[in-house]
Structure 1
Amino acid sequence: MGTAMNPPSMSDTRAAPDRRKGRWQLILIVLMVIGPMVLATFMYKLQFWVPDGRSYHGQLIGNGQTRADIGVLANEERWQLLVTAPTACAADCQQLVYLARQLQIGLGRDASRASHALASAQPVSAEYEAKLKIEYPQLQRYPLALPAFNQNAAAPGDAQLWIVDPHGNLVLRYDAQVKGKDLLNDLRHLLKLSNIG
């Protein structure tokens, strides 16, 4: 007596399409997770589809430079408004020093999270030195190493104001034409986003 072959059951006929459907679902899930990361990497590396709009007013320093890279050796663990003067601290430099102090005051309750400083390559005039002692008692002073500054600063011949984070990283740079309100908005935005300092 021969053995009769059993016809394939309904569950066997459904298993193959279900497996294919499951594979496609897995592939789609993997693409949904990895796809945006791959796209973002290509956008960053190839600089396409990068939005032109920005919410800050200074020049963003996104290359990992630190305060030491521009010739300023300091150990400040708060946010800092740092004015650099590679030449004599003339009118532009003095305006930025004044602005840095006003910005710190303008932070209100967050004023203790920031400091203001002047790094100069040359000694300031006796008259300005006397003014700094009277009107800027909290101003921190540092020497500025010109070789490092000239090699690494974006505009080495001019007085500039830098926002420096508590780790000493340069975040934003401004020239003497910056508007105080714009700079204050940038600083407030950074402090709001930051968990350090």
Structure 2
Amino acid sequence: MNPALSVNDAPPSRRGRWLLLALLAIVLGPMVLASAMYQWRFWVPETRTYHGELIGDGSTRGDLGVQADEKRWQLLVTAPRTCAEDCRQLVYLARQIQIGLNRETARASHALAISEPLADDYEATLQREYPQLGRYLLDTQAYRSEAEGDTPALWIVDPLGNLVLRYDVSASGRAILKDLQLLLKLSRIG
């Protein structure tokens, strides 16, 4: 005497196949959806949490024309011409942002990359007031191919030397500090 098979009592092999298909859809579905969103640019949020210009093309500090071996997060000020008032303001801002990191200060540094020698009075000021400021030579041809224009800029560089964010001279120090704090919070390196 065989009782009648109900709808819920499907043969075990069929139930196993449905379970396998559901498991594959759960695992592979989000990856396929994310790849499609990236490829065809749909459902991409318009709002951003950062304030600078995101550098997402894999450019490095070396591509920018700066040869440095810094293994911490870096606030790098670049000046393709002389370090005039805009450049000096960014150098001051970089130091203030590093100080503003409080207990995370040791995870970041600030530096200046220039292509021309500094004025003697400003050089003396930097030696006296900015003793931890790193200084590098800037290759102007590499810089011009990577950055737009000849204006000074402040860059956030990760410990691997990758360019992360770029700011111009009109950027707010508070906004840059918030961006760097978020990067330090999310980062496991540096």
TM-score higher than 0.5 here?
yes
Q: What is aligned with 1:190? A: 183
Greater Cα radius of gyration, structure 1 or 2 = 1
Q: What is aligned with 1:161? A: 154
Once the two structures are superposed, the pairs formed by residues 1-197 of structure 1 within 5 Å of their partners are: 17-18=10-11, 19-153=13-147, 155-197=148-190
Unmatched segments (≥5 aa) in structure 1 = 1-6
CA contact (8 A) 1:86 1:156 kept: no
2:176 counterpart letter in structure 1: L
Task: For residue 194 of structure 1, report the CA deviation from its aligned partner.
Answer: 1.1
For 2:187 and 2:74, how far apart are their aligned partners in 1?
A: 13
2:187 counterpart letter in structure 1: S
For 1:150 and 1:116, how far apart are their aligned partners in 2?
A: 22
CA contact (8 A) 1:149 1:156 kept: no
CA contact (8 A) 1:80 1:164 kept: yes
Task: For residue 12 of structure 1, report the CA deviation from its aligned partner.
Answer: 9.1
Q: Deviations over 1:70-94 (max 9, x none)?
A: 0000000111000000111111111
Unmatched segments (≥5 aa) in structure 2 = none
Q: TM-score, normalised by structure 1?
A: 0.89
Q: TM-score, normalised by structure 2?
A: 0.92
Q: Find runs of 4+ consecutive structure 1 residues off by over 2 angstroms.
A: 9-14, 16-26
CA contact (8 A) 1:162 1:173 kept: yes
CA contact (8 A) 1:120 1:144 kept: yes
Q: Please report the RMSD computed on the Cα atoms of aligned residues, expressed in angstroms.
A: 2.0
Q: Deviations over 1:88-136 (max 9, x none)?
A: 1111111000000001111111111111000011111122111111111
